[in-house]
Structure 1
């Protein structure tokens, strides 16, 4: 990224570049200029709309949406610095409506005296609708420059009134290469970083730390700081033994009820549907690794067996139920192999949603045609009165008919006529079902035509 050509931004006190050694390394190494940011090349590229606005000091109210450690807080600090504005912060986890109102009142007082305020609201999705509404008049009047940060999809978590007054900027997870660059800067910086410790770190070790950070710059710097402390007992060398201790418990990004959860279960389902067993197994492993409820996964895969495999392979449903039962009996981790085998089979076998589509068509007819009477010939007639009324009259017992099917007998309500809902696909077992039903439906149509001609 090219160096800035505009004037240096004004200082914001100790919010950026606080060198106090008691502060965590990630806090000390916060970028002080846009050019110091790692990652977010798309959003902060030279000439981009956001970069031009920031460098000119024209900051607009916005929502920053991205994973943990991608730079949301740092960007908010930089916005305040470039705009020569007061930076204030509230956390939706720790603050309530009284705290918000107090910050808004202080911002209004500063605004009256000619100074703007960047109000950074961390985890903004945790505020309810009433709390989010409190910001609206202040954003409209320009009392505050609202910068909300969220790891959740704003479309689902923020109310439309707030979204209409803010621009949403999407931040990406930081790549291992960019995180490694941030680690090198920390190792070289003797003022804010670890440059005065004389550490010996190989590129392979840095890459391993950067990969373990899983897109989170803050996490990468924290891991490096821990490794540096342990390396003091190893003569300043971050060895493979040191790394093994630091990276012993690697956890990947996953939330059990948010955007990442639904994105990953969608990827798993669609990988099965597209007959890609390798991709399906990967997404299953990702969700298991993230701590997803195993019973939920078994339930979802049972749904896949019904919805996406259907009668193309009727073995899929009992196999799904068996895998579910096996996991319930064995638990983790042994029972997870049954889920893995199931997802491989579901992704590999023939697919058909014909039963699912047929059921939806039947539901639509039920809604459209209302409560239709059962045809008299299909009704049960256990009493003389019912027989006298015509119940069961004209019913043909199929087992007594030629080929075991009474072709000229309808089973639909008289007002509806015959319907075709189920249309088997030419795959798997449904290929045989399709041949049989096509022949049978043609024969029924011919029998009905003959009956009409005789009439």
Structure 2
């Protein structure tokens, strides 16, 4: 028997599950297909969301010569062979190339296509599970329309599973069978937006029972057919960086529950080093001077996690995440240093004032270095007013205290030593 995912592959847009933002009534991709005006397209999104299916539908209505390549195993020679057909009767109306997993083509291979997609001789429909802005040559991006395919909802996956069940019953089962709604919902919720994964689980449950009289597809059976949970994660792709981003933003937003959820995702794939590095960054960037001791505590937690390893490492990591989520927040330190670095990039620096320059060598005094420097410890409150910034930026303020107990204490100290009134 063919894989169930291939057997039920939709032949028309109306049969496609999900992606209504692209192929729904009056949506951009449907309109392009209906008028048979197909520009160069890049389909971007996770596996099992319909990219290949929609590309196949487009290919069928096109009057162009159709070629399909998978960039995982295709070679530059395969592209050259396609280009040769441009001068034949087969290629007189142009060529439509469906290139799956385009991110696996190197820059040179992508550039080989550039001339032909630019002049319209080849219409490219490419698909990728990775962010095209990071993996596809910019010249191809600029000549293509990027369309994002989104993970399917459990309800959309249920729709696809029910269609598959009907097909299997009609085509392969000798006897009618029953199907519990709970079983379908279980699969739909387990496959993480990937219909293909759900169909594979359904296939394992159904195919061995095509000749079983009185068969019932129930929850117990599908649980046995779906051995692993539906969590998928590409440690070196978009999911990795998206998860780390959501992790930090959840802590910054003081949402401990969301932060723990994203921590669990990172733990599930064993990404201990990324977790530890990100927690230390968060302690300095987002909590900062509002709770200066946080970074010391987090350093202890991450050191413990690295020494323990998984599974025990999850405990000090969770401790650090909950602490940071519930700590007061301040980004005054990162704002200050980024503003100073920005000044340097613009060349807005000036010379170090002479009285601050090193004077611990013979001849420094002759150069005027170190003269008139006032030693703060010789003055009341260990403070004396003098210029420290270069003259061209002497009035610049980099650090602006945030409203929290610690930094307001800094302000009170500055006012005290400078003799200012609160």
- Distance (whole Å) between structure 2 residues aligned to residue 392 and residue 134 of structure 1: 63
Aligned twin of 1:201? 179
The change in CA–CA distance for 1:128 and 1:24 in structure 2 (over 3 A counts) is: same
**Is the counterpart of residue 89 in structure 1 residue 75 in structure 2?**
no
**Is the counterpart of residue 31 in structure 1 residue 10 in structure 2?**
yes
Calculate the aligned-residue CA RMSD, in Å. Answer: 2.9
**Is the counterpart of residue 275 in structure 1 residue 254 in structure 2?**
yes
- Distance (whole Å) between structure 1 residues aligned to residue 324 and residue 205 of structure 2: 44
- Distance (whole Å) between structure 2 residues aligned to residue 390 and residue 119 of structure 1: 73
Secondary structure, aligned partner of 1:228: helix
Match of 1:358 among 318, 336, 341: 336
- 1:24-173 superposed matches below 5 A: 24-106=3-85, 108-112=87-91, 114=93, 117-173=95-151
* Higher Cα Rg, which structure: 1
Query: What is the CA-CA distance between 1:306 and the residue it aligns to?
Result: 0.9
Aligned twin of 1:260? 239
The change in CA–CA distance for 1:132 and 1:108 in structure 2 (over 3 A counts) is: farther
Secondary structure, aligned partner of 2:179: coil
- Distance (whole Å) between structure 1 residues aligned to residue 114 and residue 368 of structure 2: 70
Query: What is the CA-CA distance between 1:378 and the residue it aligns to?
Result: 6.8
Q: TM-score, normalised by structure 1?
A: 0.83
Instruction: Decide whether the 8 Å contact of 2:72 with 2:104 is kept in 1.
Output: yes
Report Cα offsets for 1:171-214 as digits up to 9, x if no partner: 11111111111111111125876555634321111011111121
- Distance (whole Å) between structure 2 residues aligned to residue 365 and residue 36 of structure 1: 57
Aligned twin of 1:221? 199
Name stretches of at least 5 consecutive residues in structure 1 with no aligned partner: 1-20, 445-455
Aligned twin of 1:247? 226
Aligned twin of 1:287? 266
- 1:307-318 superposed matches below 5 A: 307-318=285-296
Report which stretch shifted further, 359-368 or 34-43. Answer: 359-368
Aligned twin of 1:398? 376
- Distance (whole Å) between structure 2 residues aligned to residue 440 and residue 361 of structure 1: 26
The change in CA–CA distance for 1:110 and 1:224 in structure 2 (over 3 A counts) is: farther
Query: What is the CA-CA distance between 1:420 and the residue it aligns to?
Result: 3.4
The change in CA–CA distance for 1:247 and 1:438 in structure 2 (over 3 A counts) is: farther
Query: What is the CA-CA distance between 1:26 and the residue it aligns to?
Result: 0.5
The change in CA–CA distance for 1:119 and 1:417 in structure 2 (over 3 A counts) is: closer
Secondary structure, aligned partner of 1:248: coil
Report which stretch shifted further, 227-236 or 42-51. Answer: 227-236
Aligned twin of 1:15? none
Match of 1:182 among 160, 165, 178: 160
- Distance (whole Å) between structure 1 residues aligned to residue 172 and residue 192 of structure 2: 22
Instruction: Decide whether the 8 Å contact of 1:312 with 1:352 is kept in 2.
Output: yes
Secondary structure, aligned partner of 1:118: strand
Aligned length: 419
Query: What is the CA-CA distance between 1:379 and the residue it aligns to?
Result: 4.5
- Distance (whole Å) between structure 1 residues aligned to residue 390 and residue 92 of structure 2: 78
**Is the counterpart of residue 435 in structure 1 residue 412 in structure 2?**
yes
Query: What is the CA-CA distance between 1:377 and the residue it aligns to?
Result: 6.6
Superposition misfits of 4+ residues, deviation over 6 angstroms: 387-391
The change in CA–CA distance for 1:403 and 1:173 in structure 2 (over 3 A counts) is: same
**Is the counterpart of residue 426 in structure 1 residue 378 in structure 2?**
no
Aligned twin of 1:6? none
The change in CA–CA distance for 1:422 and 1:242 in structure 2 (over 3 A counts) is: same
Query: What is the CA-CA distance between 1:79 and the residue it aligns to?
Result: 0.9
- Distance (whole Å) between structure 2 residues aligned to residue 134 and residue 397 of structure 1: 67
Instruction: Decide whether the 8 Å contact of 1:69 with 1:217 is kept in 2.
Output: yes
Secondary structure, aligned partner of 1:344: helix
Query: What is the CA-CA distance between 1:426 and the residue it aligns to?
Result: 1.4
Query: What is the CA-CA distance between 1:97 and the residue it aligns to?
Result: 0.3
Report Cα offsets for 1:205-225 as digits up to 9, x if no partner: 101111112111111111100
Name stretches of at least 5 consecutive residues in structure 2 with no aligned partner: none
**Is the counterpart of residue 408 in structure 1 residue 408 in structure 2?**
no
Instruction: Decide whether the 8 Å contact of 2:234 with 2:240 is kept in 1.
Output: yes
Q: TM-score, normalised by structure 2?
A: 0.89
The change in CA–CA distance for 1:365 and 1:90 in structure 2 (over 3 A counts) is: closer
Report which stretch shifted further, 425-434 or 226-235. Answer: 226-235
Query: What is the CA-CA distance between 1:246 and the residue it aligns to?
Result: 2.0
